[in-house]
């Protein structure tokens, strides 16, 4: 049961990191819309984190599959599929020359992903609390603490 607690802790921290990456990308896009940075700087900042986000999300999905957490796997799999599809079609990067034509679409994609990660975070915190209560309810843990 303790390994499940570690799994949920790792998952929460990974999703928090993914939320941070997405918020950073949204700030870069809004700075570009406000004309605070140029297109090249904004696209290079965003592109630096795209593959990191894809790898983290894919690893989390594979981790759920390997640990037989089917519900979490089925929730995470569509976004992982979307990331793989974007990567295979080479649509995962933002190009400085084309960014102004697709800025609204890119912003909306990231807002939808932000909503997905927020829902995932709520589910993970719920699972973390349930697992923590189950671990602390075991008699050998209580005897070991006292």
pLDDT in tens, 77-95: 999 999 999 999 999 999 9
Phi-psi region of 84 (alpha: psi -120 to 50; beta: other; left: phi over 0): alpha
Q: Which two tokens stand for residue 35?
A: 């004309």
How many other C-beta atoms lie within 10 A of the C-beta of residue 124?
Answer: 23
Of 98 and 55, the one with more pLDDT:
55
Indicate yes or no: pTM above 0.85: yes
What are the sequence ranges of the domains in the chain? Answer: 2-139
Cα–Cα dist 134/128, whole Å: 10
Whole-number average pLDDT of the chain: 92
Instruction: Answer for the pair 118, 20: CB distance below 8 angstroms, yes or no.
Output: no
User: What are the CA-CA distances from residue 114 to residues 16, 58, 143, 146 (Å)?
Assistant: 11, 16, 42, 43
Q: What percent of the chain has pLDDT over 70?
A: 94
Query: How sure is the predictor about 136, in pLDDT bands with cuts at 50, 70 and 90?
Result: confident
Cα–Cα dist 64/101, whole Å: 37
Instruction: Answer for the pair 2, 16: CB distance below 8 angstroms, yes or no.
Output: no
Average pLDDT over residues 30-56: 93
The predicted pLDDT at position 143 comes to 56
The predicted pLDDT at position 100 comes to 87
């Amino acid at each position: 049961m303790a390994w499940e607690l570690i799994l949920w802790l790792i998952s929460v921290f990974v999703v928090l990191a993914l939320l941070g990456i997405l918020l950073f990308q949204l700030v870069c896009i809004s700075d570009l819309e406000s004309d605070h940075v140029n297109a090249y700087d904004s696209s290079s900042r965003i592109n630096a984190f795209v593959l990191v986000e894809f790898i983290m999300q894919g690893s989390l999905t594979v981790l759920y599959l390997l640990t037989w957490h089917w519900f979490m796997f089925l929730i995470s799999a569509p976004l992982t599929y979307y990331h793989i599809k974007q990567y295979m079609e080479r649509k995962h990067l933002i190009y400085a020359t084309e960014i102004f034509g697709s800025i609204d679409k890119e912003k909306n994609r990231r807002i939808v992903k932000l909503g997905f990660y927020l829902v995932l975070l709520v589910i993970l915190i719920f699972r973390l609390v349930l697992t923590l209560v189950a671990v602390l309810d075991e008699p050998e843990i209580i005897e070991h603490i006292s």
